[in-house]
């Protein structure tokens, strides 16, 4: 499907899409309905297709004992309404980026990604082996929720801009779509931050309602046609080095299931967490080449002065978060420990190897 057809037929293009069930109604004894609502447009590459794939996988892994019904953004509730829908028990699960719930509690951002934070490899280590999951469980329990990691899009570019950014002063007055603590970081630098779901980014950028945006990366940015709305593509970004996505469930519903079904859902989440990251790595390089070769996109890199300003601004935001609550402080401290311990190892292992390999082989 080409991009224009995709934009016309998907929720990204603003058209209503009728919700479709991935499973027949759960009428047979032992079949449990599972309504999954998401923040992504239906069939959107990577984000939407991964969530849909996870729903199918859960049905297959439970041999039909769980019957998922998947609803993309806007098909049942709005993209930013899925948290309340599941917490209230009106749906059983949502698939989302948890930094969307920063206004509920700032600790949710650490589940997804924060500026100068963790890469996908580091985030997995933090969540599985360094206390991240336990802190997330404590946080989510206050809202009757339970979540597992279920995807990652990898290190994200700095975004699309309609003017060059040569100093921190160039950021002042910009109207930029950027969520989570990354948005709070930009606010510290004088940026007017706008919160928009993916389906509304292109129209706001092309109309001039916003001056800049970040989204995901070359693969997804290509399908949003962001290269038609902005000239400069900055890389890397400081705001989301490894944004993890989650499948978060109503805890009462989840714990009512037999233990084997709970473990099956967890295993499906782990599988999709790995698969999504692999899919993004397989596609981002290819689509970046297309953006540069076929569309003349000008790649830019934030200079050291700008990146230093990002660092100072993010630390100011972290200071505020730590004062929010005891849980927020403990979440931040655990994150800092993981960043230091895992980061030191990766800097002399995978990162150093990739740098030297690419230098020797001329990969740039």
User: Tens digit of pLDDT per residue, the chain (364 long)?
Assistant: 444 333 333 333 333 333 333 433 444 467 999 999 999 999 999 999 999 999 999 999 999 999 999 999 999 999 999 999 999 999 999 999 999 999 999 999 999 999 999 999 999 999 999 999 999 999 999 999 999 999 999 999 999 999 999 999 999 999 999 999 999 999 999 999 998 888 899 999 999 999 999 999 999 999 999 999 999 999 999 999 999 999 999 999 999 999 999 999 999 999 999 999 999 999 999 999 999 999 999 999 999 999 999 999 999 999 999 999 999 999 999 999 999 999 999 999 999 999 999 999 999 8
SS3 assignment, position 211: coil
Rounded to 10°, the helix 47-61/259-295 angle is 150
Single out the residue of 253, 257, 255, 256 nearest to residue 89, CA to CA: 253
Do residues 193 and 178 make contact, with C-beta atoms less than 8 angstroms apart?
Answer: yes
* DSSP summary character for residue 160: E
Bind-site residues: 156, 177, 214-215, 240
Bind-site residues for Na(+): 215
Structural domains in the chain? 3-153+244-283 (3.40.190.170)
Bind-site residues for substrate: 156, 177, 214, 240
For the whole model, what pTM was predicted? 0.90
User: How many other C-beta atoms are found inside a 10 Å radius of the C-beta of residue 147?
Assistant: 26
- What is the rounded end-to-end Cα distance, in angstroms, of the chain? 30
User: How many other C-beta atoms are found inside a 10 Å radius of the C-beta of residue 73?
Assistant: 28
Cα-based distances in Å from 296 to 201, 263, 308: 21, 48, 29
User: How many other C-beta atoms are found inside a 10 Å radius of the C-beta of residue 222?
Assistant: 22
342: CB partners within 8 A, 6+ apart? 118, 121, 122, 125, 126, 130
Sheet of 244-250: strand order equals: 66-71, 32-38, 93-96, 244-250, 145-152
Q: What is the pLDDT of residue 11?
A: 36
């Amino acid at each position: 499907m080409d991009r224009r057809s995709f934009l016309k037929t998907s929720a990204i293009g603003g058209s209503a899409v009728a919700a479709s069930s991935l499973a027949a109604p759960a009428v047979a004894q032992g079949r449990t309905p599972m309504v999954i609502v998401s923040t992504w447009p239906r069939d959107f590459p990577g984000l939407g297709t991964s969530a849909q794939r996870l729903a199918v996988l859960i049905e297959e892994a439970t041999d039909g004992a769980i019957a998922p019904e998947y609803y993309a953004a806007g098909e049942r509730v709005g993209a930013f309404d899925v948290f309340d829908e599941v917490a209230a028990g009106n749906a059983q699960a949502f698939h989302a980026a948890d930094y969307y719930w920063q206004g509920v509690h700032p600790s949710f951002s650490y589940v997804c990604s924060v500026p100068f934070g963790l890469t996908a490899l580091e985030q997995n280590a933090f969540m599985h082996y360094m206390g991240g999951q336990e802190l997330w469980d404590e946080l989510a329990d206050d809202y009757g929720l339970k979540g597992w990691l279920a995807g990652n899009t990898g290190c994200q570019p700095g975004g699309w801009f309609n003017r060059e950014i040569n100093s921190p002063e160039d950021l002042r007055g910009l109207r930029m779509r950027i969520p989570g603590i990354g948005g709070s970081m930009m606010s510290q630098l004088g940026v007017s931050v706008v919160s928009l779901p993916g389906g509304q980014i292109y129209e706001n950028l092309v109309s001039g309602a916003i001056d800049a945006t970040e989204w995901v990366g070359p693969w997804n940015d290509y399908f949003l046609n962001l290269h038609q709305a902005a000239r400069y593509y900055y890389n890397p970004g400081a705001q989301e080095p490894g944004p993890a996505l989650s499948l978060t469930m109503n805890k009462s519903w989840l714990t009512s299931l037999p233990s084997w079904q709970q473990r099956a859902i967890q295993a499906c989440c782990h599988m999709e967490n790995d698969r999504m990251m692999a899919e993004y790595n397989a596609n981002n390089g290819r689509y970046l080449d297309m953006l540069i070769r076929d569309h003349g996109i000008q790649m830019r890199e934030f200079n050291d002065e700008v990146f230093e300003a990002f660092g100072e601004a993010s630390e100011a935001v972290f200071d505020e978060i730590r004062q929010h609550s005891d849980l927020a402080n403990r979440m931040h401290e655990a994150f800092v420990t993981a960043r230091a311990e895992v980061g030191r190892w990766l800097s002399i292992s995978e990162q150093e190897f990739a740098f030297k390999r690419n230098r020797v082989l001329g990969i740039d």
